[in-house]
Amino acid sequence: MSDETLHRALGLTDSEFEEICSVLGRRPNHLELACYGVMWSEHCSYKSSRIHLRRLPTEGPHVLVGPGENAGVIDAGDGIAIALRIESHNHPSAIEPYQGAATGVGGILRDIFTMGARPLAVMDPLFFGSLDEPRTQWLVEGVVSGISGYGNSVGVPTIGGELTFDPCYQANPLVNVLCCGALPSDRLVLGIASGVGNLAVLLGSLTGRDGIGGVSVLASAGFEGADGAESLDDAKRPSVQVGDPYEEKRLIEACLELLDSHLVVGIQDLGGAGLICATSETAARGRVG
């Protein structure tokens, strides 16, 4: 693949590539371009939705943590706080509905327990095209099974949701997952890296080849055509992560036990953007990079 087309394969537009060259003062190498593709993806940067999200209220007498962290946290009184997060997994679910929806649940659970909260419940607002279409039926079955299967395996129930069918969602279904968790207010931990000499420890499942390009190749790409068929090819399926709810259950218990020990300075969910995103986010919040 030529350098002239590589940035497009990584989800970057021509204008974004020109801006990268301007910032660096030269053409980026392949590693730098891959990093930009991840960090400037819709999944990580919210470049098309940020302008709308800024209109929402974010402050209040009971708000302990607002935008910028893994999850929002509100004061419930009596020394108890509630962590809340909602996230979409639209493109992965349209490519591989079961794993796309399942890993959406896995990601939202990580956002909750990395705040120090135990995940308690999941909800799923879902929006699909016409139910008469065979592709919609395939998507619904896979998405619902993925959400329930992952949640049941990890021990977090799906307590409600929303299901809407409309032709406007035929090309691009909306798969949203919301999770809430509870924590003692004094156990609240933020994703901030600070303190010279502190160790950075990576915890979780083994790294595989699944999910590579999941936030750049998928999240920044649009679906073409009336039914999205042009984007639903086998080549994109490896970009969807494969979930492991039993490993995440162990990870939840291990992290909460570590947080109870007060040995952790900061903790960050390692999502689809990998180490480049997790390390830069924690360093930026700690003003150390």
Q: Mind listing the pLDDT tens digit for each residue in 219-261? A: 555 555 444 454 445 666 666 778 889 999 999 999 999 999 9
Residue type, 132: D
Region 119-143: mean pLDDT is: 96
Q: How far is CA 260 from CA 24, 114, 121, 189, 253, in A?
A: 43, 12, 21, 10, 11
- Return the C-alpha torsion angle 51, 53, 54, 60, nearest 10: 180
Report the side by side order of strands in the sheet with 63-65: 63-65, 72-77, 80-88, 174-184, 118-128, 158-165
Of the ranges 29-38, 205-214, 235-244, which is most confident? 29-38
Among 45-54, 136-145, 151-160, 250-259, the least confident range: 45-54
Q: How far apart are CA 54 and CA 158, in angstroms?
A: 29
CB neighbours of residue 141 within 10 Å: 12
Catalytic residues: 43, 89
Question: Which has more pLDDT, 44 or 148?
Answer: 148
- Return the C-alpha torsion angle 231, 237, 241, 246, nearest 10: 130
Residue 288 has pLDDT above 70, yes or no: yes
Instruction: Note the pLDDT of residue 238.
Output: 64
Of the ranges 11-15, 208-212, 240-244, 275-279, which is most confident? 11-15
Residue 218 has pLDDT above 80, yes or no: no
Q: What is the DSSP letter of 236?
A: G
Q: How does the average pLDDT of the chain come out, rounded?
A: 88
CATH number for region 63-285? 3.30.1330.10
Are 50 and 41 in contact, with CB atoms under 8 Å apart? no
Region 98-107: mean pLDDT is: 93
Instruction: Note the pLDDT of residue 226.
Output: 45
Residue 74 has φ and ψ, to the nearest 5°, of -120, 150
| Confidence band for 177, pLDDT divided at 50, 70 and 90 | very high
Residue 197 has pLDDT above 70, yes or no: yes
Q: How far apart are CA 53 and CA 69, in angstroms?
A: 14
Residue with tokens 């798969």: 175
Residue 169 has pLDDT above 80, yes or no: yes
pTM for this prediction: 0.86
- Closest alpha carbon to 170 in 129, 208, 204: 129
The DSSP bridge pattern shows strands 158-165 and 118-128 to be parallel
